[in-house]
């Protein structure tokens, strides 16, 4: 049996294989509300044959959006806008649907990537981002607002409120975005966190707020639904957050009942130097898995089915997350299953698409026609 296509269980959620569709920002929402684009985009990925689909980073408050086009889940309108999208997925796919809850922190109020991706000034229609400290992401940018006690409470409660809405929507699992230089990662990294109170200074203090957010969400998220965290295992900048810090953070999350660690890297500083090679972040996932025993998700330039199979088979990670490669080839899991001699879910409308030499690709099915 293929390791990549073996089943796995996360609390009350059983996954048919180890392929995960990563959360991928689309910058296409209106006032945080999902629309026709999300129906098409997520609907396509829901038919990919992957076991779990992550909805893109979803802002827990308007000021937590990376761009004005970010998806959100902070009020009745944003909640209602997701209902038809999820209903369509549930009707036509068996895929588990997970949502990544996020807050952009000092990287908020940015133009969409195809318009340059730079900070939008308040005078040009942007808003003042908040952060652990009044330290801009990029030299020359306006400083963000350092969160005070009331601000910390507001953000923490925003994560809680969004988690409750996600449960009402029937979302199967949640992931907290603690990576890529966004707010929770900003608290972890000494590059962004220069506080002198109980939320800054030592590693223990810098971990405090992200752990408080995790505890608050876990307390309201149903016990049979999994909750994971995405981390940046390295800032790729001297003096920044590193793998030893990540292992300490993962250990604290394990004590609190985290269900997986989604292991990425970078994003907190434009000075980062990342060696981009296939599977370049897999050693980080392996390190977390070996040190803590927690399920890990490996990400980053994993595009070859044989490579993905080896990562799972060798125990380097428990799941493979696909992002850009899945956009380029939304049927990647089908092709991987064919190559590895496995079966994959597909809607009956597509059953006739399997190649003659791979007649078992969709399992024990029959298709008749007059």
Cα 212 to its chain centre, rounded Å, is 19
In the three-class reduction of DSSP (H, G, I as helix; E, B as strand; rest coil), residue 308 is classed as: helix
Q: 42: closest CA among 86, 101, 100, 94?
A: 86
Buried b (16+ CB within 10 A) or exposed e, 280-304: ebbebbbbbbebbebbbbbbbbbee
Tokens in use for 50?
Answer: 């992957």
Helices 305-313, 332-340: axis angle to 10 degrees equals: 70
For residue 162, give both structure tokens. 């969004």
> Measured between alpha carbons, how far is 157 from 54 in angstroms, rounded to an integer?
22
Q: Is 182 assigned a catalytic role?
A: yes
- How, if at all, do strands 8-10 and 13-15 pair? antiparallel
Instruction: Using the structure block, give the residue that is written with the tokens 């293929």.
Output: 2
CA-based torsion, 7, 85, 28, 110: positive or negative: negative
Q: Which residue is catalytic, options 182, 199, 280, 350?
A: 182
For CA atoms 64, 25, 195, 198, the dihedral sign is positive
Distances (CA, A) of 332 to 21, 23, 112, 190, 317: 10, 16, 27, 38, 19
User: Which residues are known to be catalytic?
Assistant: 182
């Amino acid at each position: 049996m293929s390791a990549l296509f073996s089943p796995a269980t996360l609390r009350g959620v059983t996954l048919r294989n180890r392929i995960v569709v990563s959360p991928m920002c689309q910058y296409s929402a209106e006032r945080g509300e999902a629309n026709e684009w999300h129906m098409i985009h997520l609907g396509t990925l829901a038919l990919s044959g992957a076991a779990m689909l992550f909805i893109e980073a979803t802002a827990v408050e308007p000021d937590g959006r990376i761009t004005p086009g970010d998806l959100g889940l902070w009020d009745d309108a944003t909640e209602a806008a997701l209902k038809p999208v999820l209903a369509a997925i549930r009707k036509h796919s068996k895929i588990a649907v997970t949502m990544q809850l996020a807050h952009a922190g000092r990287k908020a109020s940015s133009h969409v990537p195809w318009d340059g991706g730079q900070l939008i000034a308040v005078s040009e229609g942007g808003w003042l981002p908040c952060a652990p400290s009044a330290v801009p992401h990029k030299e020359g940018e306006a400083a963000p607002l350092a969160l005070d006690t009331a601000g910390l409470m507001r953000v923490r409660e925003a994560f809680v409120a969004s988690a409750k809405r996600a449960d009402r929507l029937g979302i199967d699992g949640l992931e907290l975005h603690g990576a890529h230089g966004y707010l929770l990662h900003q608290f972890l990294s000494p590059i962004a966190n220069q506080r002198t109170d109980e939320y800054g200074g030592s590693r223990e203090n810098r971990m405090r707020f992200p752990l408080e957010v995790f505890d608050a969400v876990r307390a309201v998220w149903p016990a049979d639904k999994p909750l994971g965290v995405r981390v940046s295992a390295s800032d790729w900048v001297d003096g920044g957050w590193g793998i030893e810090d990540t292992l300490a953070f993962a250990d604290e999350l394990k004590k609190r009942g985290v269900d997986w660690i989604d292991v990425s890297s970078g994003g907190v500083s434009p000075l980062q130097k990342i060696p981009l090679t296939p599977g370049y972040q897999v050693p980080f996932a392996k390190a977390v898995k070996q040190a803590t025993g927690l399920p890990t998700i490996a990400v980053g330039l994993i595009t070859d089915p044989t490579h993905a199979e080896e990562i799972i088979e060798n125990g380097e990670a428990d799941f493979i997350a696909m992002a850009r490669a899945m956009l380029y080839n939304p049927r990647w899991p089908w092709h991987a299953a064919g190559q590895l001699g496995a079966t994959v879910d597909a809607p009956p409308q597509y059953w006739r698409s399997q190649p003659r030499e791979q007649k078992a690709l969709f399992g024990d099915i029959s298709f008749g026609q007059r």
